[in-house]
Amino acid sequence: MKPFPTLFLLAGLIGGGALPTPLAAQTTNRLVIHADQGRHTISRMIYGHFAEHLGRCIYEGFWVGEDSPIPNTRGIRNDVVEALRKIKVPVLRWPGGCFADEYHWKDGVGPRAQRPARINTHWGGVIENNHFGTHEFMDLCEQLGAEPYIAGNVGSGTPQEMMEWIEYMTSDANSTLANWRRQNGRQAPWRLRYFGIGNENWGCGGNMTPEYYSDLFRQYNTYVKNYSGNRIYRIACGPNGGDYRWTEVLMQRVGRRMDGLSLHHYTIPTGNWGRKGSATQFGEDQYHGALRRALEMDTLIRRHSEIMDRYDPEKRVGLIVDEWGIWTDVEPGTNPGFLYQQNSMRDALIAGLTLNIFNRHCERVRMANIAQTVNVLQAMILTDKERMILTPTYHVFEMYTVHHDATLLPTDLECADYVYQDHRIPGLNVSASRNAEGVIHVSLCNLHPDQPASLTAELRGARPSRVQGRLLTADSVQAHNTFDRPDRVRPVPFHEARLTENGFAVTLPPRSVVVLALQ
């Protein structure tokens, strides 16, 4: 996206100072959708999720146990599964996160009463009883209809341990490990497509240099075997945010040996990891700051992709953004190691604009996994014993299911900036796609907290006869759903778009996510 050129002229006339917000809102917003140029597919894996043994994500989130009064299927709570099936979760990453590089898979198989209890040193120092292990995770993925994505232990594990785990899961041989799986209740091998060779090995996964990790990747990757027709997509630990040297070293040294390279980037509203800011009690400074930092995802993807292009011009290696989302201070009175935070309309806008960015970069971005699915960070779902609520972010994921495996349509957007003090960002954010039935979907975010935005769109190469829409907004950017008010933020039908001779015109409410369907 690029700001409408008039803004630069006006800014120059007033000496480069901050443009007053009311004047910026009067600038014409124009969109061109190139319906005749789509070439790349938006992989549904971009809409993936992440579940770590952290706080109440696994235990109390997904897992309640078979003896729980909460309705469940083999210990996995039914309401959470039903809700996640509605957003068509395509892939689920597990068991971490930092937890992955301390996780030893043999602790989590066999009779639950005999599984060892370990200390979760990363997240609250609580006892991990290992009641949720490989069989339970694979069962969860099958209930969700999602591909499993497992992160292997490089930080404290061995190549042999990794090799044996994959054989246990995927081999149909008459071997000791495959027979152990059968003894533990699973006759047929599982299909495992995605496997991560370590996690954040530049930090909690071992504090390694890229050179050292590259050598370890060569070693561990050798023992990631394909058994019984299963083909594993091998994901290397990639950079922390803007560490471009890490990407350079990995692509140069082991680029031909990997299928994907991970990238992690979190949105910290204040920019200060020590005091990130509240999830719901914030002013416009932290609102604008969070949006600015979320928009950095576009720069990160472009710059890392440029490095990858030098070593992989065919774009064989996927960029896998397997941890992303807003990270705030925990809710008052909760365990600081559990990372439990509320989820507001601000978070919904961050989800919408980030998913738009991924869509626009789908030629290189093949998967993304928001952190995390239940009760942790930017969650889809919050639970309190038997109660469950859906977050504003959940609703964005549900609205954006229309983009799954659709063809990206290139867009050109000229729009007014949303200005706060001496900071400015584009006020609108967009992506568009055409699905297999020929329906064009346009997802639009108006980031301004209190001003509507009128948009004129030209549709080149298509002439629709009908437009329908859905809207997600609320009475403030701080609005959020609670167990007492579970539907304060939810999607509603949207009727403010109309067809024109060349496309459509629409007025977007402030602080809104809108998805239009053009047929």
| Residues with active-site annotation | 200, 323
Q: Tell me how far apart the alpha carbons of residues 375 and 54 are, in angstroms, rounded to a whole number.
A: 9
Rounded Cα distance between 519 and 509, Å, is 23
Query: Would you give the DSSP letter of residue 38?
Result: -
Query: Residue 48: CB partners within 8 Å, gap ≥ 6?
Result: 89, 90, 91, 92, 93, 149, 322, 367, 368, 369, 370
* Pairwise CA distance, residues 330 & 277, whole Å: 9
Give the Cα separation of 314 and 322 in Å (integer): 22
Phi and psi torsions of 248, nearest 5°: -60, -50
CB atoms within 10 A of CB 302: 12
Estimate the crossing angle of helix 159-170 against helix 210-222, to 10 degrees. Answer: 40
Tokens of 228: 């019984």
In contact, 103 and 161? CB cutoff 8 Å = no
Tokens at residue 434, please? 């055409």
Residue 439: Cβ-neighbour burial (10 angstroms; 0-12, 13-18, 19+): middle
Which residue, chain included where needed, has tokens 């694979």?
138
| CA 85/CA 70 separation, integer angstroms | 18
Q: CA–CA separation, 153 vs 408, rounded Å?
A: 35
Nearest to 60 by CA among 373, 483, 395: 373
Kindly compute the dihedral angle of the four CA atoms of residues 169, 175, 177, 181, in this order, to the nearest 10 degrees.
60
The whole-angstrom separation of Cα 459 and Cα 383 is 43
Pairing of strands 407-409, 428-434: antiparallel
**Residue 83, C-beta contacts closer than 8 angstroms, at least 6 positions apart:** 380, 381, 388, 390, 394
